[in-house]
Amino acid sequence: MKKILVIHGPNLQLLGKRDPAVYGKGTLADINRGLAAEAKRLRMELDLLQSNHEGEIVEAIGKARGRYAGILINPAAYTHTSVAIRDALEAAGVPAVEVHLSNIYAREPFRHSSLMAPVVAGQITGFGAASYGLGLQALAGLTARPSKR
């Protein structure tokens, strides 16, 4: 089964309590449950990491090669600041999809730029918790083996 590394960046452990008008009332556990259901449907296996620490995220991405078929990441605030996570994704050797709950382009100007966007396969932003399932579907397509026909 294809293994996918799911990374939830800083402050996402607060979902449900944090700014529900922007991020919704669902918790991170709700998101992970939704992801688990989608992964089962897509015949994928997930390893989940939530971290508030840039270095921990960099290390997890650095160990992904050979272990995971792809990475699903919401880098949260690090999206806009972290050259280290950007470089780790560029060097990862496996495809990554960037997801956001909110539409980062419809928010404050400092959220309009993603350092990750040029080094990921693509970005899904603004669909709430559904962004994660859509991201997993994108990874399923990206990591599909070509058929033998």
Determine, following the binding rule CB under 6 A, whether residue 57 of this chain makes contact with ligand DQA: no
Residues 6 or more apart in contact with residue 48 via CB below 8 angstroms: 6, 8, 32, 35
Radius of gyration for the alpha carbons in the chain, expressed in angstroms and rounded: 14
Contact 46, 36 (CB under 8 A): yes
Q: Quick one: which of 50, 51, 102, 123 contacts ligand DQA (CB under 6 A)?
A: 102
CB 41 to ligand DQA: min, Å: 23
132 catalytic? Reply is no
Determine, following the binding rule CB under 6 A, whether residue 13 of this chain makes contact with ligand DQA: no
Determine, following the binding rule CB under 6 A, whether residue 101 of this chain makes contact with ligand DQA: yes
- Please identify which of the residues 8, 68, 78, 100 carries the catalytic annotation: 100
Other C-beta atoms closer than 10 Å to the C-beta of 55 total 10
Helix (H) or strand (E) holding 39: helix 28-41
Distance of CA 84 to the CA centre of its chain: 16
**Candidates 30-38, 48-56, 75-83, 136-144; binding stretch for ligand DQA (CB under 6 A):** 75-83
Determine, following the binding rule CB under 6 A, whether residue 114 of this chain makes contact with ligand DQA: no
**Candidates 32-40, 46-54, 74-82, 84-92; binding stretch for ligand DQA (CB under 6 A):** 74-82
Residue of 6, 98, 1 lying closest to 46 (CA atoms): 6
Determine, following the binding rule CB under 6 A, whether residue 76 of this chain makes contact with ligand DQA: yes
List active site positions.
23, 100
